[in-house]
Amino acid sequence: MSTPVLQRRITLVQATAINMIDMVGIGPFVVLYMVIQISNGPHFLYAWLVGAFLSFADALIWSELGAAYPLAGGSYNFLKVAYGEKGWGRLFSFLYVWQTMIQAPLVMASAAIGFAEYLSFFVPVGYWEEKIISASLIVIVIILLFRRIEDIGRLSVALWVGIIIIFSWIIFGGFAHGHVLDPLKHINDNLVFNQLFLVTLGQASVKTIYSFLGYYNVCHLGSEIKNPGRNIPISMLISVAGITVLYLLMNLSVTSVIPWQTAMTNKYVVSQYIREISGRNAAGIATGLILIVAFASLFSSTLGYSRVPFAAARDGAFFPVFGRLHSTKNFPYISLIVLGALALVFSISIKMKHAIDGILAMRILVQFIAQAVGAVLLRKKFGSARLPFRMWLYPAPVIVSILIWLWIFASTGVASLLALLFIACGLVAFYYCKKWWVVPG
């Protein structure tokens, strides 16, 4: 009997769908009012532009790395190769897996909690009812992911349709019932460019960037993408461009009907917007679609993250049990189960408002910034002639992304200190525990 291996079955359309449903999720619907509230003015749109700009610059880095190293685990492989497989690369790649074992379940839990909170638009949901709903949602996702990758690719495309429907409804509703360009006309009203503006813009951008995260999900599935040198970069760039347009048009549509002064106080502002333009029943249907999108994102992110501990274990850099594939369906089932179990625990024990800053802060130094520097190191080592995809305007995307990521890291406040503490714990774990799994030499 042959050893099961990951198979390249995901097409360009399926890869793009997986990225986009991971990017959307519950994020833009939950943080829309938060961004306006933090900005306290019509210039809240700048925070969405920051999120789009950073995502595009960073996606160029991911595209170059993902096309060159299309393997399961994404950043794990990029960091290992860039910093040396027998040197610092082991430490950086371990730290990435280390933070993934906590950060990934937190992302999954935040999606499930957001789903449960938004469900309260229909009926009041108490504390324990919310916890039961979020935990149950994670269990359902794990069960759905217990199947072949080609089946998951087709299911992802079906879930993608839900995203297109809800955003089309929101956007066309704005064009039909509001003056969509009005918010742009007033974007600079009462705007003073000073230190306070930069601070509030940074804090608001933390929330918008959270909504953009996921454009790189396809890199985690690198070993399962058809023609990865072409499809990985294209799927990411299409995803960022498409989501940017959808997010901006959604914000313009909503605030063209509901003034920003009112929107900033409404937790369910998108549902309220649909009620304003189409009535109460339509608002219920739209909220149902939002919940479907949130579910789809949880599905996509769980799929991608489950490949990270698997890749590290297969490489002799993490506990070997995580390297097991299902004997007939060829997917990393141990990794999937463990991450799902941790996500279930977090969904019961944390609140949504505590998750967003922490999720972002933990990833910036070890993953995004270290990876951007790694792209430069790889070019110095091997040149760029043989790269399947070369980032445009190199090294501008690297410089821009590092500077913005540092600004965003500082904007996360207390969460940045917790992230540094977590990295320190990872250093201790690497030093004392690596003898359990690292292959000598």
pLDDT at 254 over 70: yes
Overall average pLDDT of the 228-233 stretch? 94
Residue 2 in domain: no
Residue 400 in domain: yes
Residue 441 in domain: no
Which residue reads 């917007």 in tokens?
A: 273
Residue 78 in domain: yes
Gap between the Cα atoms of 438 and 97, Å rounded: 14
- What is the token pair recorded at 62? 């991911």
Share of the chain above pLDDT 90, in %: 36
Residue 1 in domain: no
pLDDT at 393 over 80: yes
- Is the pLDDT higher at 421 or at 224? 421
Full domain range(s) for residue 369: 12-436
Alpha-helical runs (H) found in 84-180: 89-119, 127-144, 149-177
User: Would you state the pLDDT for residue 131?
Assistant: 87
Gap between the Cα atoms of 57 and 42, Å rounded: 25
Gap between the Cα atoms of 249 and 175, Å rounded: 10
User: Would you state the pLDDT for residue 351?
Assistant: 74
User: Would you state the pLDDT for residue 437?
Assistant: 52
SS3 55: helix
pLDDT at 241 over 90: yes
Give the tens place of pLDDT for each residue, 290-301: 888 788 778 777
Residue 56 in domain: yes
- What is the token pair recorded at 259? 């003034």
User: Would you state the pLDDT for residue 317?
Assistant: 75
- Is the pLDDT higher at 150 or at 399? 399
pLDDT at 98 over 90: no
Residue 6 in domain: no
User: Would you state the pLDDT for residue 314?
Assistant: 81
- Is the pLDDT higher at 360 or at 330? 360
Overall average pLDDT of the 252-263 stretch? 92
pLDDT at 2 over 70: no
Report the CATH number at residue 128. 1.20.1740.10
Lowest mean pLDDT among 33-42, 89-98, 247-256: 89-98
Overall average pLDDT of the 345-367 stretch? 84
Give the tens place of pLDDT for each residue, 300-312: 778 777 877 887 7
pLDDT band at 380; cut points 50, 70, 90 = very high
Cα atoms found within 13 Å of the Cα of residue 393, Cβ hemisphere only:
11
Residue 294 in domain: yes
pLDDT band at 3; cut points 50, 70, 90 = low
Domain count, the chain: 1
Share of the chain above pLDDT 70, in %: 92
- This prediction has a pTM of 0.86
